Structure 1
């Protein structure tokens, strides 16, 4: 008995085959990020370092790790407005530069799966192990970020120096993943925009690492230009990572309660990249 290759039965067969072969959504980890009141936790007489009481509460040493960060985009921020952020970072103690290509998706309420499904429809699914999915879990907002890291070296730079505009463009273009390069099905979309990009930043941040309630906690201090462009606004962020959505939900509430009790909490979402893109 032969079945027709056209008609309703063939259509149903095709749809079933597509559903069977469709890749599942990516499985994210979670990074909880809560803002701290810079006035309450930083000492302006000590170069805006964390106060001893904060270091003590999180069992943190006085030493910090420096991170110099810059983003590249066009003057009209075409890359950022499409949800992408190409970044170059130099971390103290590490050789070379870390390049990151990150695509962000907003999470509506707590519907994380919907954001993952949207990412899946745009090519980010569980079969693509080169990209990492993470839910950035803030005070009132959650964001899905899909990122891929590369490394690059360039002679002529030392210490915490970041590459100039020309070298930054070359690095990010040379290492660009295909998904970013041809985003939206447009050949060379990402690399063509990088070719006419400029630097946003740099920002020299400092990270302290400690523990709280049995988990590893980071506190980062980001000195970002203020709105007027004449001074510095210090963004202080406490964060931790987990592979469990339930731990993220429970511990984020616990950490917020702890920070509130110390008078250190700042209600709001950490939007460092957005501030840098707006102010540089």
Structure 2
């Protein structure tokens, strides 16, 4: 007689690991103003514009530069390393920004792609923002740091070699490992300065929102003169507010003859012209 023993085996199937959720962005609406309509012959905002937005005559200066290789290897991979010196601040602000174009107005798809590439809600080193232009939107994911370097004062930016060192010393891991380990550092080693641009910011309010107008004097296409880019912007945590106020601000600017119906491409212009 054959005895057969039957073993009851309990198998526990592990639950699938839940991927981290997408980042939660804030929103910055950025629109262009017609320079010839809003700037005086001195390159400053007219009193009518300042009055409309409750802006003082005083401005905050910002000196800005970007670093990339001659072939723009960093920019073509949608990374943007920037150094900014803001009037009244002692340190240099270092920003490492990764951009994702938003296609067919699908913000969720861009956030999901960013998540798949390592930018999710658990990463507190980065902030997500939807840059909401006239027609186009972009997801920007930024890592901001500060850096010190002796020997500079006022609005001075560091030399090219000091700029490279500051950005390399503080480079976030995701950028450094983007295409391969050490990619970011290697690109910065081979980089040069694009810029600088000495911009001026005015701060006021519009429709209950803190509002900025920045004037960026960017080298013109011929390289012999200056094109002033004038950008008005506000930030909000609400996509509904961003959408509503975006349209209302366009209508208001149009009614004043101040609107320039183009998307703001300040960084692109600087990368093209310097």
Normalised to the residue count of structure 2, the TM-score between the two structures is 0.95
Q: 1:226 aligns with which of 220, 235, 244?
A: 220
Query: What is the distance in 2 between the residues matched to 1:181 and 1:203?
Result: 26
Deviation at 1:109, TM superposition (A): 2.3
Deviation at 1:2, TM superposition (A): 3.0
Pair 1:141 & 2:136 matched: yes
Query: 1:50 aligns to what SS in structure 2?
Result: coil
Deviation at 1:17, TM superposition (A): 1.0
Provide the residue aligned with 1:17 in structure 2.
16
List 4+ stretches of structure 1 deviating above 4 A.
Answer: none
Provide the residue aligned with 2:158 in structure 1.
163
Query: 2:89 aligns to what SS in structure 1?
Result: coil
Q: Which runs of 5+ in 1 are unaligned?
A: 5-9
Q: Which runs of 5+ in 2 are unaligned?
A: 1-7
Q: 1:267 aligns with which of 261, 265, 270?
A: 261
Query: 1:168 aligns to what SS in structure 2?
Result: helix
Query: What is the distance in 2 between the residues matched to 1:196 and 1:110?
Result: 36
Query: What is the distance in 1 between the residues matched to 2:116 and 2:212?
Result: 33
Pair 1:26 & 2:23 matched: yes
Provide the residue aligned with 1:216 in structure 2.
210
Residue by residue over 1:85-133, the C-alpha shift from the partner in whole angstroms, topping out at 9 and shown as x without a partner, is 0000000000110000000000012210000000000000000011000
Aligned residues, how many? 267
Deviation at 1:3, TM superposition (A): 5.9
Larger Rg: 2
Provide the residue aligned with 1:240 in structure 2.
234
Provide the residue aligned with 1:91 in structure 2.
86
Residue by residue over 1:31-86, the C-alpha shift from the partner in whole angstroms, topping out at 9 and shown as x without a partner, is 00000000000001x2x000000000000000000000000000000000000000
**1:109, 1:141 within 8 Å by CA — same for their partners in 2?**
no
Query: 1:158 aligns to what SS in structure 2?
Result: coil
Query: What is the distance in 2 between the residues matched to 1:58 and 1:178?
Result: 41
Q: CA RMSD in A?
A: 1.1
Residue by residue over 1:237-261, the C-alpha shift from the partner in whole angstroms, topping out at 9 and shown as x without a partner, is 0000000000000000000000000
Provide the residue aligned with 1:249 in structure 2.
243
Name the one with the larger helix percent.
1
Alignment of 1:35-54 (within 5 A): 35-44=32-41, 46=42, 48-54=43-49
Query: 2:204 aligns to what SS in structure 1?
Result: strand
Q: 2:9 aligns with which of 2, 5, 21?
A: 2
Query: What is the distance in 2 between the residues matched to 1:148 and 1:175?
Result: 10
Query: What is the distance in 1 between the residues matched to 2:104 and 2:33?
Result: 23
